[in-house]
Amino acid sequence: MSIVEQLNRLYREIPGCLAVVFGDMQTKTVFRSFAKDNLCQEDHDRLLEMAALWLTPPAENSSDHPAGLNLPMQVSLQGRRSIRVFARLLPEASDVLCILAVAEAPLADLHRSIRAMVMADD
């Protein structure tokens, strides 16, 4: 299954999913996205910026992080109105999957869907 098919499947199957964005955190480039019509490119860009904020160490602290540091692979942010999940596809890679869903979406389903996609990509 291609990455586009996998992203589309995630978007369709995750209850309450508003957006699935695949991109590069380092360059802040969106490679592919599926989203509700009311979300614009700036919303997708913001998701990538948030992923970079949560999944990479700040540049000013990079000397504090020894070589081989285990960077987080996944971060989930639960808000009052939405859930944001950011997941690296590979350790130390800048490719990231961002999912935005309504706050009522079952977090366990989100994590299970992401895990299935990452494992299928191996």
23-48: average pLDDT: 91
Question: 56-63: which pairs have CB atoms within 8 A and are 24 or more residues apart?
Answer: 56/25, 56/94
Which residue ranges make up each domain of the chain?
3-57+72-121
Distance, CA of 36 to CA of 39 (rounded, Å): 6
Instruction: Record the pTM.
Output: 0.79
Residue 119 has pLDDT above 90, yes or no: no
pLDDT band at 111 (very low <50, low <70, confident <90, very high): confident
CATH number for 3-57+72-121 (one of 1.10.10.10, 3.30.450.30, 3.30.200.20, 3.30.565.10): it is: 3.30.450.30
Three-class DSSP category at 38: coil
- Give 52-71 pLDDT, tens digit per residue: 998 887 664 455 555 555 67
